[in-house]
Structure formats: C-alpha cells, structure tokens
Amino acid sequence: MRKYIIIAALALAACNGIKTERAAEAAGQKATVYYNGDIVTMEGDTATYAEAVAVKDGRILFVGAKDEAMKQAGEGHEMVDLQGKTLLPGFIDAHGHAFNAGFQSASANLLPPPDGNGMNIDSVVTIMQRWYVDHEKAAHKVGWIIGFGYDDSQLKEKRHPLATDLDKVSNTLPVIAIHQSGHLSAVNHKALELIGYGPDTRDPAGGVIRREKDGKTPNGVLEETAGQLALLQIFAKVDSTASEALALAGVDAYKRFGFTTIQEGASTAGIDKTWRSLAEAGKLDVDVASFPVLVISRDYMDAYGSRKEYDGHFRVAGVKITLDGSPQGRTAWLTKPYVVPPPGQPKDYRGYPSIPRNSLVDSLVEQCFIKGWPVLAHCNGDAAGDQFIAVVSRAEAKLGK
C-alpha cells in the first residue's frame, strides 16, 4: 500500500497555480518545496493533482508547477523529494475527544490486537500490573490505576472484567479499566468502596451499576453515568500542569494522523479552561473546537457562548447533548429489543435514554435555539434519534427555524 505523507500545514486553499496572500507575511523565513509525489489538492469532485507545493513559516505559499513553486519559495529554500508518496491537505475531525485521546495515551493500553495485547482477562490484569510498576508515582498522585481500551467482545472470555478480576491488579488502590467505547468501565472493589457503590445504591439516572447474581451487590461493571462518577474523582485530582500535558498529548495523537482541526466533543468548563490556557500561552498549533456537555455546562455557556472565530487556535464551537449510550455496550436506546440483552436484563431490553425527562431535553434544545448555539447530538440508537427529532420539531414550532 502506498505510504501517505500528511503535512499539517496544508489547508484546503490549495488550488493549482494560485499564490496565497500570506506569501508576503512569511518573508524572511526559509521555505520548503515538496515535489515528485501525488499531491492531492482535494479541489473539485474528482482528484486534482499539483506538481509541487511551497510552504513557508507553516503557511502555503504556492500550489502548482514545480518551477513556479521554487521561484515563490525564494533563495535558500529546501527541496523535499516525496519519492512517489502521497501528500494530502490536513484533516478536519468530525467527531472526537481530544483531551480523552491524551488521557488514553497516558493510561495502560488494554486495546485488543493489533493495537494492543488485551486478548483475555488475564492479559488485561497483567498489562495494568505492569503499568502500575512503571507509573507508580503517577498512580499514587491521582490515587488510581488506570487502563483504557479493553473490548469484551474481543476478549477470549467474551465478558467484561469484574471487580474480583481487577482485585488482582491491586486491592489497596482503586483500579479502573475503561471500555474501548468509553461508555462502560470495570472497577475493583476498592474503587466501588471509594465511589460509594453498595448493595443498596440505586442506579444513577442515565446509567446502570451491574450486579452479581443476588441482583444487589455491584459486580464492578459500570455503564454510562455510573462509570462517569469514577472518572470525575480521577480528574478532580489532576492539577493544571498535568491537565495541560494530557491535552497536548491528545493534540500530538491527532497530529500523527494528519489532523489540523480537532474536536473536543464532550467538554466541560474545566477542560475548556485547560484549552484556553494553552491557547493564551501560544502552545496550540492546530485548531481545537470545543462542544461542552450542555446538561452540566449551562452557566458556563451563558458566560462564554459559542464563537465562529478561533482565538489562539481555540474556540467554543457549540454544545453537546448526549441522549443515549453505546451499541458496543448495549446501552444505546433502541425502538426494538436487543437480540442478546446484557446479563441480568429481560428479553425486551432496548437500552435506555441518557436524559429520561423529555422536558429537560426540551429545555436544553430551546436554550440552544434562543442563544444560537450549534448542537452536536449523540444519538446512537434509533429511539434516541426519534427523541431528538421530536424535540427539535417542538422547538422549531415554538421558536422558528
């Protein structure tokens, strides 16, 4: 397969033979000319190729003929032979979680092959044990042993790790293994104790605490909001320096795949504070578009609102409303029952809404209409999609398009 070279500086303004108005701004810096490859401009409906691209000070000077690119690059420019590889414009992330990508990079890698070695429950336990040995100082600082990426459907046992399994990692520190979807987690008994989950604990709205055969005792598997409470405890112990490091690690993860605009698709006021601090310090070299979770960010959004322009490569672009869960975890809200329900659920189980009260969803969406905030809606199941369509229809009837 042909290798790809992704140049983060390339934007979609790449039209053959056109010199950008930014050429003069980059005067005085050494330029680079890329040539001898499939330089795809993404202009038009069919593939359009250029002979060369001249870049200076992180900006495109020229796209077109090689001789003209060299001329526009000026004296002392560097020539880069692509050797037949492909060069593309930077990618725009349509759905992502930049901060979580950094958090994932700092956690034990529980992904199944080929991205990791999470093949069975024993390997998940071993990977987290080794991570703790290598990151003991960090683990004690936040007070948790953290892993990310296991997939029950790809584990040999075809089930989630349980509290009894994760007790083998540690029975003195809380342990959390986050599902590949991000919508479920598995924790040990120390974590259940710390969160305060016991036999008499009711399931939180929009989440489920899975139970043992007695139907009461938590078994360690937490769905949706039930697991988010554990993550909130972890993030509460992450200081500003560590938060910035995680955010920048997320940026680096995206940049490796050629993204020049990345999304913070379920943000909070605290996470946005980190992004804004990085932007003000000039530490962002890609655009970050944030969409705070509106149900917990209404006051924050009233204070800051959404913006069309980036400031230091950061902007609040709109809001996020999550209406259900994940098909992988069988928490997505469906109109028809799952063929195979999760353990302990009846045959007519259809998942569940994240926000059961339509009146609250109405209130959230109406606020967006009134304020002019763009909305990203998480609707994985068709019942959640129906809910959102109905809510938007009611808002339009009341407030107009």
Amino acid letter, residue 268: T
pLDDT at 198: 97
Average pLDDT over residues 71-92: 94
Percent of all residues in the chain with a pLDDT value above 90, rounded to a whole number: 84
Kindly state the average pLDDT of the residues 230-256.
Answer: 92
Residue 3 has pLDDT above 80, yes or no: no
Q: How far apart (Å, rounded) are the C-alpha atoms in residues 310 and 177?
A: 35
Mean pLDDT computed over 76-103: 95
Q: How confident is the model at residue 237 (pLDDT cuts 50, 70, 90)?
A: confident
Is the pLDDT at 391 greater than 80? The verdict is yes
Q: What is the pLDDT of residue 304?
A: 93
Residue 114 confidence (pLDDT) above 70: yes
Q: Are 307 and 315 in contact (CB under 8 A)?
A: yes
With tokens 């019942």, the residue in question is 383
- Is it the case that residue 340 has pLDDT exceeding 50? yes
The model's pTM: 0.84
pLDDT for the residue numbered 268: 94
User: What does the mean pLDDT of the chain come to?
Assistant: 91
Angle formed by the axes of helices 240-255 and 269-280, to 10°? Answer: 80
The per-residue pLDDT for 28 is: 55
Question: Which of 221, 150, 140 is closest to 181 using CA atoms?
Answer: 150
Could you read off the pLDDT of 27-77 as tens digits, one per residue?
Answer: 457 899 999 999 999 888 998 999 999 999 878 999 999 999 999 999 999
Arithmetic mean of pLDDT, 353-361: 94
- More confidently predicted of 39 and 228: 39
Q: What is the 3-state secondary structure (H, E, C) of the chain?
A: CCCEEECCCCCCCCCCCEECCCCHHHCCCCEEEEEEEEEECCCCCCCCEEEEEEEECCEEEEEECHHHHHHHHCCCCEEEECCCCEEECCEECCCCEHHHHHHHHHCEECCCCCCCCCCCHHHHHHHHHHHHHHCHHHHHHHCCEEEEEECHHHCCCCCCCCHHHHCCCCCCCCEEEEECCCCEEEECHHHHHHHCCCCCCCCCCCEEEEECCCCCCEEEEEEEHHHHHHHHHHHCCCCHHHHHHHHHHHHHHHHCCCEEEEEEEEECHHHHHHHHHHHHCCCCCCEEEEEEEHHHCHHHHHHHCCCCCCECCEEECCEEEECCCCCCCCCCCCCCCCCCCCCCCCCCCCCCCCCCCHHHHHHHHHHHHHHCCCEEEECCCHHHHHHHHHHHHHHHHHHCC
pLDDT at residue 172, rounded to an integer:
95
- Is the pLDDT at 352 greater than 70, yes or no? yes
Tell me the pLDDT tens digit for each residue of 137-160: 999 999 999 999 999 999 999 999
pLDDT at 10 over 80: no
Cβ-contact 135, 189 below 8 angstroms: no
